[in-house]
Amino acid sequence: MRAWAVVLALSCVASISAPAAAQEAEALRKEIEALQKQLQSVTERLQRLEAQPRPPQPAPAAPMPAPALGAAPPASLGISPADLARPRQPFSLYQQRGAGQLLFDMGVAGDFVGNLTQSNVEKAGGGTFAGQENRFFPREVELGLFGQVDPYAYAEVRIEAGEASRGGDLNVTLAEGAVTMLTLPFGTQAKFGQMRNRFGYTNLIHEHDLPWIDRPNVLRNFLGDEGLKEKGLEVTIVPDLPFYLEGLVGVFNGDNETAFGRGTLRVPMFTGRLRTFLELGDASALQLGMSVASGETGEKRRDTVLGWEARYKYRPEGWLHPLVTLTSEAIYALRRVNVDVDTDGDGLTDLIKKRERDRFGWYAGLEVQPLRRWAAGVRYDWSQFPDRPGSERAIEPYVSFWTSEFLRFRLAYKNTTRDHRDGFDLNGGTARKVDEVLFQGTFILGAHPAHPF
């Protein structure tokens, strides 16, 4: 009896599920038919659009089209146009460029400068290009290599050659060699290697990309002729905020001999920077930042350098270039120094005292570019000297001309006045008042990354 009940129950279940399964199969069949109709419709539309006639182009003769990415196999393989339109993996590589393609970008930047000045300034070595007054020379010819190392990192290497001293051999140095880790969590990136430190606005920029012929006096006085270039690690964070804010910390050897010089990770040089950006409508924007670098000098004395930066650009709607650019930076340095004290007036040092010496300097530059190829500007510098008394001021009007974005010429007149002779009176010359004509020719060959703001 029980067995019959089970058989009856199973029969009922089968009789219920069989129609249900049949219904499901019918529904699936209908869905498949609908999808097939859709695919057919899309295919026909694609064929109609692609079948629009293309008239022959006049001279210059149209080149042979290169195979498209994921080139289409012949129709005889029975692959539909819808399949051809589907991209292949991986998702996004550098575009196919043809045979012999390097896996990175390469470019050369050449920067040639010269100046004309008084003979007494040349004797004293007190011109803008100290020791190379009244000369024309290659300041920096740079080979740049940059690209993705792998999906997680980007690298750039810059090797530069330049004439460092009057009539001397060309120096070839590693200007930068650094890797940036791109896929770290929490909106961070890390950059390690040898790099131009992200301190202020101008320090990051290479000579051929500067908005002027020379680096501002305050930066050369406080950070050296070539600025702050160190070996170490920088970490940046861009937090998820409704406005742009970039925070940076870095740790380096401290090799820069002008500001630091200790050169050891046992007493590292630390850097920090905060940068923000404000869009003032479609045509204007303002970038503000504050930086700090702190380390020990070669005499094992603490030096802390603070910097402030501001950059404003006004670009009218539809213009290819900004009409007005204002740039300004200020530096304040607090350095502990050893001071010789002669207590008894006999001209001999009786004791050495530690003192704190603070020094300050700033510059402001204005550039107007009314035409695509022509710009004119002026920069004013005022700076104390970190290692000696006195100060200097300079004014430098200039004009720039571009034949294209890859070749530029500049001409400037610079007047510098110093209120102290110390350090500017070598070899019987004097460089208290300096008048210079500066000129520059710069070219770019090959790839060059886009310029930031």
Partner 1 sequence: MRRFTFVAGAALVVLSLLVPSAHAARKLRVVATIPDLKSLVEAVGGDLVEVDSLTRGTQNFHEAEVRPSMMLKLRRADALVENGVELDAWADVAVLGANNPNIVRGAAGRIEISRGIQLLEVPSVRVDRSMGDVHPLGNPHFSLDPGLAPIITQNIVDGLARISPDDRPAFEKNRQAFLDQLGHEMERWMKIMEPVKGAKVVAYHPDVIYFLTRFGLVQVATLEDRPGIPPSPQHLVQIIRLMKADGVKVILVEPWNDLKLAQRVADEAGAKAFVFATAVGAVKGADNYIAAIEFNVTTLAQALK
Footprint of partner 1 on 37-66 (CB under 8 A) = 38, 42, 45-46, 48-50, 52-55, 57-58, 62-66
Nearer to partner 1 by C-beta: 15 or 95?
95
**Strand, helix or coil at 440?**
strand
325-384: contacts with partner 1 (CB under 8 A): 372-373
Q: CA 112, CA 131: separation in Å to the nearest integer?
A: 16
**Strand, helix or coil at 441?**
strand
Whether residue 230 contacts residue 256, with contact meaning beta carbons closer than 8 Å, is answered with yes
Nearer to partner 1 by C-beta: 285 or 378?
285
Nearer to partner 1 by C-beta: 168 or 187?
187
**Strand, helix or coil at 308?**
strand
Q: CA 295, CA 428: separation in Å to the nearest integer?
A: 36
Neighbours of 268 (CB within 10 A): 21
15 binds partner 1 (CB under 8 A): no
260-319: contacts with partner 1 (CB under 8 A): 275-277, 279, 282, 285, 287, 313, 315, 317-319
- Give the nearest distance from C-beta 317 to partner 1 in angstroms: 6
131-190: contacts with partner 1 (CB under 8 A): 148, 151, 154, 180, 182-185, 187-189
Out of 2, 97, 266, 353, name the contact with partner 1 by CB under 8 A: 97
- Give the nearest distance from C-beta 448 to partner 1 in angstroms: 10
- Give the nearest distance from C-beta 398 to partner 1 in angstroms: 22
- Give the nearest distance from C-beta 424 to partner 1 in angstroms: 40
- Give the nearest distance from C-beta 279 to partner 1 in angstroms: 5
Please report how many Cα atoms fall inside a 13 Å half-sphere around the Cα of residue 206, on the Cβ side: 26
Q: Which residue has the tokens 């010089």?
A: 261
Beta bridge partners of 278: 286
- Give the nearest distance from C-beta 213 to partner 1 in angstroms: 22
Q: How far is CA 304 from CA 164, 204, 215, 367, in A?
A: 28, 19, 21, 31
- Give the nearest distance from C-beta 263 to partner 1 in angstroms: 29
Neighbours of 55 (CB within 10 A): 5
Out of 18, 22, 27, 69, name the contact with partner 1 by CB under 8 A: 69
Neighbours of 315 (CB within 10 A): 17
Nearer to partner 1 by C-beta: 78 or 151?
151
Out of 93, 102, 274, 352, name the contact with partner 1 by CB under 8 A: 93
Nearer to partner 1 by C-beta: 74 or 452?
452
Cβ neighbours for 240, distance < 8 A, ≥ 6 positions apart: 187
What sign results for the dihedral spanned by CA atoms 126, 127, 132, 135? negative
Out of 3, 76, 88, 167, name the contact with partner 1 by CB under 8 A: 88
17-36: contacts with partner 1 (CB under 8 A): none
Nearer to partner 1 by C-beta: 11 or 47?
47
- Give the nearest distance from C-beta 70 to partner 1 in angstroms: 6
Q: CA 444, CA 146: separation in Å to the nearest integer?
A: 15
Size of the site for partner 1 (CB under 8 A): 76
194-253: contacts with partner 1 (CB under 8 A): 236-238, 240, 243-244, 246
Tokens encoding 385? 């000297």
Q: Which residue has the tokens 């300096």?
A: 434
387-446: contacts with partner 1 (CB under 8 A): 404-406, 445
Cβ neighbours for 332, distance < 8 A, ≥ 6 positions apart: 305, 306, 307, 358, 359, 360
